[in-house]
Chain A
């Protein structure tokens, strides 16, 4: 690797819920931040810079919340940055934070992301404040229809993903949705929202935050020596493409393919399906799982749905996807991407608790945003050289 090694040494998140009416924005993000600092055995004084990500300001109607939150995040007198890449923002926030450490500019950087959806309305915000908002479901339904026709996937694939992620969520104490009696029948019977997407194939609206502490090799080695395994960042990549032009393919977006190729090449991953032990992919609607399995090279084109069908992506399968329950179970939008990155880190740290994938040594966290336009991914490992 050409960049200096850096690692995740602390991860924190809130208990995600529909409405956290008991806390302010500051109170919400601080819950995640202090859990991450405690995990890293650090205090705010150990943080050299803070990077904040969230969805567009229209979601809560607070302009420049990064300024409002600077004292809540202990950033007074320190560099404070805001990241904006739509739904992928949480992932990009982690990558920007890691970049500051890799560049040698700062030793330890705090990445924080949040959303407090209860203060506004996502459909309003996604529709730019106008009527007849398509919402995310309306935007993605045509892409899903194209995938289903192309791949010949049977309709139960979407239902299976919806059930799998909700079963995983039952093992994650922080997950928002806890549907004890989730079943294929229940998903099938739920209302059609954006044909072919049913209600239970969709993510919830959540209030929540996530925070990650990233530090340099010396800090990571010290944590390891203290019995607290770091998650080494093997590689990271962000790619984007224009929203629309004739010939654009939102099912296999060029930016996604490039992001995957970039992150695998830099990590020395030549056979992602076998070398990656678990993946946290951004799946707000069930069908995005097979779509991203294919675009990110974890399955051949047209074959992603088969990994869902045969149980490969279940916890206990050979490639568990979203063991945390994923975006389908918790969706504080701005934080959702960082949660993917943080959960991937926790897997290779052996810190994922009841949803731990046994022996996970290499994991990826991935987030996407807007019209399948922005992609952010990192690969993390339990060691810097997991492939020998």
Chain B
């Protein structure tokens, strides 16, 4: 059975809206919906250019709605967290009065039987508006716009940017080779896979040889030594960004395992501060104690499992001018 690992990435992007969508968003804070004149059409939401030809459009805004007519709809019986409403609703194409193109938005009608093509709908405004499309919480049946909560009024100044908190949760299959490497790490073994064609050895549960483009199965497994030499390294000054876990300069080292051609890349180092790291330092593998074992593994992450990183072992540094070239 293939095992999956679930990951979530989130990031607070900041959109620059530009002069046309910016004007549309600014108007939303004032409970107005703007379209733009494009030849004989009124486009809602407004666009900066003619969608058919790409020609620049003069900024001739037209206030539309706020009520309109449903042209088409689909029912969302089980909304997700990212849907505009937390209970079943319809997504609808709403032709606002005065517009020639429909706006896609939510309609809170209770049941699908309350939805129909041609039905009249009007906005339910958010009381506190910031200049986003969800300043309109949704549309509701009828011709009367309503406001939810205390109305805090318009933005007072042009809205030029929009916060967009993107979030994606995805599941990655874990290759069998990675699972075997992780299991071996629990026994404090460093597992390698030797390509039967070229003889190269890959560590870290990488179940393929990218040179020969073949899979490497259990029959290719070899046990790797736990001692090696730092060949090269990066000292990273962490830039602060949402999700950054580091605050101080940190080291990632490349470790060449004794008697092999195997490089353990981007390794964590232990008791080796950034100002002391150099090429040629002899190191030993450090394994997590049972108490330190976590689902995510040790300091190296991924299929390195219980391997926490590498610690100087006190042996004299190696002085080999070719070491620094051993990065991969």
On A, residues with C-beta under 8 Å from B are 19-24, 26-27, 30, 44-45, 58, 60-61, 71-76, 116, 118-121, 123-124, 128-135, 137-139, 141-143, 145-146, 149-150, 191-195, 242-251
Contact = CB atoms under 8 A, between A and B. Distances in A.
B239 A44 contact: no
Given A21-B161, A71-B51, A129-B243, A142 B254 contact: yes
B254 A135 contact: no
**Secondary structure class of chain B's binding surface, majority of residues:** mixed
Contacts of B233: 142
A205 to B, nearest CB: 10
Contacts of A20: 16
A45 B234 CA distance: 50
Interface stretch (B7-15, B103-111, B127-135, B178-186): B7-15
Nearest to B210: A242
Interface in B241-293: 241-246, 250, 252, 254, 261-263, 265-266, 279
A124 B242 contact: yes
Contacts of A129: 9-11, 243
Given A19-B16, A72-B49, 5 more contacts: A71-B51, A118-B16, A121-B242, A123-B241, A124-B241
A23 B16 contact: yes
A245 B232 contact: no
B236 A245 contact: no
Which residue of B16, B200, B202 has the most chain A CB atoms within 10 A of its CB atom? B16
Contact of B17 (A24, A120, A243, A251): A24
Contacts of B236: 132-135, 137-138, 194
B263 A191 contact: no
Interface stretch (B26-34, B87-95, B307-315, B319-327): B319-327
A194 B265 CA distance: 17
A242 B211 contact: yes
A289 B289 CA distance: 46
Given A26-B49, A131-B244, A146 B210 contact: no
Contact of B327 (A75, A124, A143): A143
B245 A132 contact: yes
A250 to B, nearest CB: 6
Contact of A26 (B18, B164, B242, B327): B18
